[in-house]
Structure 1
């Protein structure tokens, strides 16, 4: 009977420790607030990842974005069955614990703006395709020359693909480029 009571006390202690560790009081709090429209640049909160291989870098960001190549376009889509341009950016950054706004226009205000001559791999690019307001986005995957800047995006007619943003269509609709702040 004495051994049973001792085992019962250990079991109760174990449940208490497990219960407290699951309690929200002991968890690390992460700010996952999205930035509303027209708010100045704000450094995003980043969750630490356990494995060094998942550290955020330009190469890893592009690799995640390219894993969606060929996925069909779906307005509001957020997975391999269908995705839109801002969903592609959100999902790519989400892999590294970064929560970005879900709308292209808001994404364009999340990181500091840069000029096209300074553009490089990993930069975000934004376009106004149907009006004067930003409604399309992508991630620069390669800078071959000043006339050939390749970006990945979710095309409404051809799904996730890479195109030259300096061709006549995209160049005429270019609105802004931004440089994400990565954790190395």
Structure 2
């Protein structure tokens, strides 16, 4: 009987020991896996953060430019009333003779070529474009050189014999013959002066003539 109880007691103890060991093993086995997974996730998150380029602030786009004025906008200007004002235009233009050249200038302390045209007409109460390329589209084009008259505007490009943008302008003051058309302009080197369209320098750079009246 004692032997049986002893064996029964031993079995109970052995069962408890096995159960405890199994529980302990399960605890020891599961805990490291959970910690390892947690550390792995944290590590992957750190790598991801390290590889991710910081978000840039949105680039602000430059303000859209205002659309260029349409040809209808030329109605803000007014044309000289016929040829009656031409002698006055020529007379006023010649009062600027000797004025030094100044880019963007508008008076007798300094003036540029398109400024001379604009200012002369302003003094007779006529508003015309200020920029030379706009002036080159104002009025009616003179089809033939032989039809050029006093008061017409002449336009030139920078290089002789080559196409290019309008870079210079002047007002015709006198037509003395087929090869002597005199115009007044603001020379970059010599200020406001009169020259012949048929001179070697200007003949090769001339591109068009416009009649603003």
Q: Normalization by structure 1: what TM-score?
A: 0.69
How far apart in 1 are the matches of 2:79 and 2:180? 32
Q: What's the CA shift string for 1:29-79, capped at 9, x where partnerless?
A: xxxxxxx6783895643699xxxxxx9611000011101000000000111
Taking the aligned partners of 1:119 and 1:158, their CA distance within structure 2 comes to 25
Residue 133 of structure 2 aligns to a residue whose secondary structure is helix
Contact 2:78 2:128 in 1 (8 A): no
TM-score for both structures, normalised by structure 2: 0.60
| Residue 145 (structure 1) aligns with | 177
Offset, 1:101: 1.2
Aligned pair 1:159/2:159, yes or no? no
1:61 corresponds in structure 2 to 89
Task: Go from structure 1 to structure 2 and tell me whether the alpha carbon gap of 1:140 and 1:172 turns closer, same or farther (over 3 Å shift).
Answer: same
Q: Larger radius of gyration, structure 1 or 2?
A: 2
* Residue in 2 that maps onto 1:28: none
Corresponding position of 1:120: 149
Q: Secondary structure at the match of 2:204?
A: helix
Partner of residue 91 from structure 1, selected from 114, 119, 123: 119
- The CA RMSD over aligned residues, in Å, is 2.5
Higher helix share: 2
Aligned to 1:169: 201
> Unpaired runs of 5+ in structure 2?
1-67
Instruction: Report the 3-state secondary structure (helix = DSSP H, G, I; strand = E; otherwise coil) of the residue aligned with 2:181.
Output: strand
Would the alpha carbon gap of residues 37 and 57 (structure 1) be closer, same or farther in structure 2, given more than 3 Å must change?
Answer: same
1:152/1:163 contact within 8 Å kept: yes
Alignment partner, residue 158 of structure 2: 129
Q: How many equivalent residue pairs?
A: 140
Task: Supply the distance in 2 between the matched residues of 1:147 and 1:46 (Cα, whole angstroms).
Answer: 28
Deviation at 1:160, TM superposition (A): 0.2
SS in 2 for 1:126: strand
Cα 1:45–1:169 change in 2 (3 A) is same
